[in-house]
Amino acid sequence: MLTTILRMGLVLACALLPAMADAATPGVDEQSIRVATIQDLSGPIAILGAPIRDGIVMRLDEENERGGVHGRQLKIAVEDSGYDPKKAVLAARRLLAGGDVFAFLGNLGTPVVMATMPLIVGAGRPHLFPFSPHQATYLPLHPLKFQIFAPYRDYMNAAVRHLVAENGYGRVCLLYQDDDYGLEVGRGVEAGLRQLGTTLAERTGYKRGATDFSSQIARLRAAQCELVVLATVVRETVAAVREARKIGWGVDMLVTASGYSAQTHELGGEAVEGLYGVSVLPHPYAGKDTSRRLGEWIESYRTRYDADPNVWSAMGYQVADIFIQALRAAGPDLDTQGFVAALERLETSRDFLAGPGYRFSADDHLGNRRGRMARIVDGRWRLITDYLD
């Protein structure tokens, strides 16, 4: 009954989407398709935002060099949020006011996404694959909201249960960013512990952009934590682990996919050896075990940007690739309703980046629900499990 009601609501919503027969589709003309992305290019997670942008742009440019999608060139407007929801809202309003954006692609950061997503879908634009594994990015079911990144709740539930089962931790604790991101991670951790018949031994938060974690780490140590889950991003992950090691506390720590990045071990060095993390896409390391296709992609990225790609570059590239696959499937007479219908039928297979295959349907706009466990060993992330249920 609930599914029927949801489908009736979606049919009504889709009927209201702009169609080529009635009016020109925003961001689409005979020559081009114009999209937008909101990234942090100047704030505390700019080390993530810049490679995401570069990966997206690289994939769009590759497609343009092949002639575009059904003869249309792909263009992208990039706005900088500074990881500030207020600044992000202003950026979204600017982009929407121009009436020249077909879709928003890979917006970065849960606080930013939670602030801007209502504006974007309210204006009738697809909100695609944001870098925010929050349930609100795909639920409740909405014709314009699609996600490919496994939700914090699901993968942190599975990760915590796996590590407790493997290592027998009795006291699990949480250090979390005090916003939608941290709270959503906490819900997943708590759900996993409930399944094990236990609860968090301690929790402590920090404000976005914090640099000093001495009081939080002291509190967690006093609580005799045996595993500390980190709802942190890269810089804060390194700072928290370093503080623990500085005071001689070798507690095991597990960070979300927001801290699974080469920058974590590049910045943290010896201090972050042994850190556990969740991977939704492997880091694209170059080496003797690298596949030929991945090696070619790494070299192409290096040539283009004079830098090594990281997992955020790879995820940006994959976000753009899935978007392109949906555009192809939608056909040459592109409008929003047709694009949504094509994306709801899309099923991808694993590619050279070694991520999962993604699958959408009319009843499910989340393409993947699982993550893998990884650990920093000898200065690199090493996958230690397959995808966890």
Tell me the three state secondary structure of residue 222.
helix
Residues 267-323 have pLDDT tens digits of 999 999 999 999 989 999 999 889 999 999 999 999 999 999 999 999 999 999 999
Whether the pLDDT of residue 210 is over 80: the answer is: yes
Query: 101 and 77 in contact (C-beta within 8 Å)?
Result: yes
Mean pLDDT of 208-227: 97
247 half-sphere exposure, CB direction, 13 A CA radius: 17
pTM of the model: 0.87
Mean pLDDT of 200-222: 97
pLDDT at 6: 45
Query: Is the sign of the CA dihedral 384, 233, 38, 40 positive or negative?
Result: negative
Amino acid letter, residue 103: A
Residues of the chain with CATH 3.40.50.2300: 2-150+292-358, 152-279+373-387
Report the C-alpha gap between 386 and 156 in whole angstroms: 15
| CATH architecture under which domain 2-150+292-358 falls | 3-Layer(aba) Sandwich (3.40)
| CATH architecture under which domain 152-279+373-387 falls | 3-Layer(aba) Sandwich (3.40)
